[in-house]
């Protein structure tokens, strides 16, 4: 069963150049899918379509049985609570403390809960990502990069999303931190086997390590999809280059 079905998705911003030029991709439910590709191939644009932040020029996106093209802006905002999103820079609110950042979506979407219940969820999520209580009242500027990621992830999972999206979670991090974040992604995914994880990356190692399913974008299309073996065995020139680059990287 698929959590997300993308059919013949095309997107042009200027009416001439198609950034996405016929993407057809199924993202299986309960699995980790890694979307890879060189810089500028439209990975972030694709994920923004899935979140309904960008509307397609043509084609369709079905998420958990809903054709999101049929949702109006207000319905889309509500629908977005199915998603947890961790942006590259964690995108925390600078003036909010750690706990306030995690509380934010809970206060927005769980008005049915009492103040204490909301606080309890926020604390649970923070402990799940390994942030201890001494950091709860700190501002993002007082946290390390790794802690900010953890805080962003706690916020992303605050509403127990069906689908977790990560855009370049480890870009710019040192190897030790990269492994920590990769493990965090794996643990978070395994914590709830029902949940679907999508990771955008240009790190082939992460793709091979995390991905049950890997899709590579190029030229606005899916160049290749499959598992690690599919990529190692491929004789597509660009795939070989990507694999070679990933190996050299180590
Ligand atoms: N809102 C926008 N308006 C116009 N062009 C855009 C917009 N968003 C993205 N683009 C263009 O779409 C192309 C793909 O961008 P995108 O950010 O999706 O690449 P990417 O694969 O995520 O790259 P990276 O690995 O560097 O993050 C780029 O040429 C970018 O300039
Ligand atoms: Mg990007």
On whether the CB atoms of residues 149 and 181 are closer than 8 A, the answer is yes
pLDDT tens readout for residues 141-194: 999 888 898 899 899 999 989 999 999 888 777 888 888 889 889 988 998 888
Q: Report how far residue 165's alpha carbon sits from residue 171's, in angstroms, rounded to the nearest whole number.
A: 15
Rounded mean pLDDT, 94-110? 94
Task: Give the number of other Cβ atoms within 10 Å of residue 228's Cβ.
Answer: 16
Q: Which residue, 9, 21, 50, 54, is CA-closest to 33?
A: 50
> What is the full DSSP assignment across 73-116?
HHHHHHHGGGEEEE-TTTT--TTS-HHHHHHHHHHHH-TTS-HH
Q: Give the residue from 101, 136, 161 where a domain finishes.
A: 161
Is 77 within the bounds of a domain? no
Measured from the alpha carbon of residue 45, the closest ligand is 1
pLDDT at site 167 = 92
Cβ(133)–Cβ(18) below 8 Å: no
Domain boundary among 128, 144, 161: 161
For residue 16 and ligand 1, the question of a CB distance below 6 A is answered with no
186 and 241 belong to one structural domain: yes
Mean pLDDT of all residues belonging to the chain? 91
Q: Looking at the domain assignment, is residue 22 inside a domain?
A: yes
- Domain of residue 114, residue span: 91-161
pLDDT tier at 247, thresholds 50, 70, 90 = low
Instruction: Beginning with the edge strand found earlier in the chain, give each strand of the sheet holding 83-86 in spatial order.
Output: 83-86, 163-167, 196-201, 32-36, 213-218, 221-226
Tell me 186's DSSP state: H
Query: Is the pLDDT at 246 greater than 90, yes or no?
Result: no
Closest residue by Cα to residue 184 from 139, 125, 135, 144: 125
Among residues of the chain, what percentage have pLDDT more than 70? 98
- Read off the pLDDT of residues 40-85 as tens digits, 9 standing for 90 and up: 999 999 999 999 999 999 999 999 999 999 999 999 999 998 999 9
Q: Domain containing 11 — which CATH number?
A: 3.40.50.300
Asked whether the predicted pLDDT for residue 209 surpasses 80, the reply is yes
For residue 46, the ligand 1 atom closest to its alpha carbon is 18
pLDDT band per the 50, 70, 90 thresholds, residue 11: very high
The total number of structural domains that make up the chain: 2
From the list 157, 152, 245, 154, the residue with the least C-alpha distance to 207 is: 245
Is any atom of ligand 1 closer than 6 Å to the C-beta of 37? yes
Closest ligand (CA of 216): 1
User: In this structure, are 175 and 239 located in the same domain?
Assistant: yes
The answer to whether residues 110 and 152 belong to one domain is yes
């Amino acid at each position: 069963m698929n959590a997300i079905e993308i059919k013949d998705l095309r997107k042009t911003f200027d009416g001439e150049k198609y950034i996405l030029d016929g993407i057809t991709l199924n993202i299986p439910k309960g699995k980790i899918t890694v979307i890879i590709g060189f810089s500028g191939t439209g990975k972030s644009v694709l994920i923004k379509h899935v979140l309904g932040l960008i509307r397609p020029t043509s084609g369709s996106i079905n998420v958990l049985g809903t054709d999101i093209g049929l949702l109006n802006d207000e319905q889309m905002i509500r629908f977005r609570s199915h998603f947890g999103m961790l942006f590259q820079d964690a995108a925390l609110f600078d003036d909010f403390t750690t706990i306030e950042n995690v509380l934010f979506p809970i206060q927005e979407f769980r008005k049915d809960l009492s103040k204490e219940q909301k606080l309890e969820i926020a604390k649970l999520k923070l402990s799940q990502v390994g942030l201890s209580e001494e950091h709860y009242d700190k501002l993002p500027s007082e946290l390390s990069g790794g802690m900010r990621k953890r805080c962003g992830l706690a916020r992303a999972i605050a509403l127990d999303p069906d689908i977790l999206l990560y855009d370049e979670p480890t870009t710019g991090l040192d190897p030790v931190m990269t492994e920590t974040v990769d493990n965090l992604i794996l643990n978070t995914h395994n914590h709830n086997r029902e949940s679907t994880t999508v990771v955008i990356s240009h790190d082939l190692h992460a793709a091979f390590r995390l991905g049950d399913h890997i899709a590579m974008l190029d030229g606005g299309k899916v160049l290749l999809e499959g598992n690690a073996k599919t990529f190692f065995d491929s004789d597509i020139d660009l795939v070989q280059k990507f694999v070679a680059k990933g190996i050299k990287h180590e």
